[in-house]
Structure 1
Amino acid sequence: MKIKQNLMIFLIVIFVLLLGMSFHSEFLSVDSAGDDATSTLTPYLSAVFLILSAVTFLNLKIKNVPKFLKITLLIVGAFFVSILLPAGLGANVEIYPELRSLIIPMLGVLIGSQLELSSKTLRMILLIFIVCIAFSLLSQILANVGGFIITEQYATDLKNILGVIGATAVVLTVGFIINGNKNFVLKIFYLFLLVLLLVELLTLRARAATLIAFVASAGMVISHYGVSLKKVVITVVVLFAGIILTSLLIPDSVSSFIYDSFFLNQDRDFTSDRAYRNQKALEFIADNLWFGNLDGRAADFGWIHNYLLLQLFNFGILLSLPLILLYFYIAFVVLKNVWSHNINQIAMIGFPAMLVPLGISLAEPTLPYGPGTTTLINFILLGIALRAKQQI
């Protein structure tokens, strides 16, 4: 049994290393049509994930399978059954991509729930991931921009993918900083990584990811230190004083850098037409509430940048109901545990890490489950957190 666990730890280390480096500019690029982001490390990453999944099933302990996973798989099964009939009748439904996008993250949760990791080992794995992501984002910036400058056009078509993984790394780094490590040198190193990651996100202009990284980190800090009237008053005073001092002392170049990251060349529409497309989607859903666009007749007004709206648009309220229930169930479990469990145990960091794909899904269509392997680390960490919660 110990040999199998050591094998799983070895495989998860290799997986995290490959995942982090798969976003490096040497390996990740956009195809010539500008439509699809592919990493040359993806085949190796997929192979390791399949082996890890197989070893997990061979070493499966039913008692460690969280109730969360049983409920989510039941809902996924209900969705599968619900789309079989319309798909068989020739409706505009692609079964395999839909199920794959749901099953792979759930496999990640299962893998995480079966991992027996000490806090030291988990810290090492997460640090490997954070460093690889910081290095990979830096390579993308140097390859596409040349340095930490804000350009009128987005630095790269990969900014949304890089934003998700970068925001996750930010949340993990904040978790390291507030987790009570008393080593001063390590604290400084974590702070350096945090600043580097934030500057990288700002340079990439991954706006939704940057905002969610701040919100998730703030939620983690509040949960960790607790909330009281005294703390709220002190926090408000400190923030107010900090904003005033920052506005007086921060160099204009820094404030312009942050402002331009969000607003440069966005005078006409800060949402980059997302609000327009979402409005058109709402109008279509209102007229086609029950079955959405199953017949594929909707006018093409661009991709809807909101996960829930996209599902309602594609399937209507009847067939998308399992997906909506699944989304809100995951959100409920994550938010409840972010609020009720601080991260004195590093294993609990999976709950705030899941805020990243959930939050960004409000502004992007493929999240919280994809695209590809981008969010797999979040779901694996969720599995680890659910296991740790069972053992409290």
Structure 2
Amino acid sequence: MSEPLRCRGMYDLLPADMERFRWAEEVFRRTCLAWGYREVRTPTVEHLFLFTATGTLTPQALGRVYSFLDWDGWSGERVVLRPEGTIPTARLYVEHLAAEPLAKLFYVQNVFRFAEGDARREEWQAGAELIGDTQPLGDVELVLVAQEVLSALGLGGVTLRLSHPGLVRAVLAKMGLPPEEQLRLYDGILEGDAEALARVQERIPELGAPVGLLLAEEGQGSGYLANLRSVFLPALPELAAPLEELAQVVAALEGLGLQPRVAGALVRHFEYYTGPVFRLEADGRLLGGGGRYDSLIGLLGGRDVPASGFALYLGDLLPLVSPPRARAGVPAWVEASDRSPGAIAEAYRAVRLLRERGRQAQVALSPSQGGEPRLRLGDGRYLVTSGGRQREAASLEEAIALLTGEGRR
């Protein structure tokens, strides 16, 4: 078949894929529950205004959502397929959990975003959101939860990168550019556009040092942050607060044996985040990331409350995961000697009895399926074959006893 029947950008999960998926999901759920997070699930369809009126997604991101009119016959509301997990979870908090001073929530659910060509348009995210005044502890905790999940999945060589959007925000504000132009310039910086960096340098000559040291380079942990302070703070004191917030998180993680890298510019849509952000990468894949978004709850109509979160991207994570092989016992096979209703019913009754006694069992759907041990029944006869030896039992109960070891002499 030259053209697939499935929709472009949508992908099936085959049995081997589902083994990896369920293993990753189980590890993520177990880890989150151990850290005190509670599981939630939000609707696949959400109101479009959640993502527009609040300004929580950029125009570029909104151009990739799947939206349609939810028509009731007289009027309609523009809705979208959930494009990410954080905003719906924040909406859930505002509507149901706002009275709680601290909410620790997690989810595993799919998101939908338009992409060109055969790139994935449906992704699965395993995310956690921490809503409440927990900083800087919450920033540190979320990194540790994500790292623990990846470690439990057997992934090594994971690189942890941290940044703070306040660094970029301070530089772009100094240039006096309108918001739309700031976004375009920042995207150019992330893509390594030398002209974008040259433009920043030209508009802020008082920085002295090359702006690329702040926005285009990265370095190791606290030492690199100390260098940034000494080089850029005299000319741009607005960097002091984001550098201090970032330094607290980096120092705590280093005290726990981690070796975070620090970058001045790390994540797109920097206007969405208000505090430290992080990314986890391995084998050239972005496995996950997140950060602090203190303004979001207020924008959705709730009280102003700090919040932060992260998501692991299962589409990139699953190819790296090898679930442990369960030691499966050899099943007992039950074969009906004919296709009469009575023989069929008794075959499935035998399987049920075997399972109730702790024995794996399946009905052989054809004479060639399965092997030994095997019970062939019908016409009042019960033939048990095991180890090449065949024995006839006087009743179904005796045949079950032979297959479970209870009838051995």
TM-score of the two chains, using structure 1 as the length reference: 0.27
**Structure with more of its chain in strand, by fraction:** 2
* Structure with bigger gyration radius: 2
Between 1 and 2, higher relative CO (CA 8 Å, sep ≥ 6) is seen in 1
**Structure with more of its chain in helix, by fraction:** 1
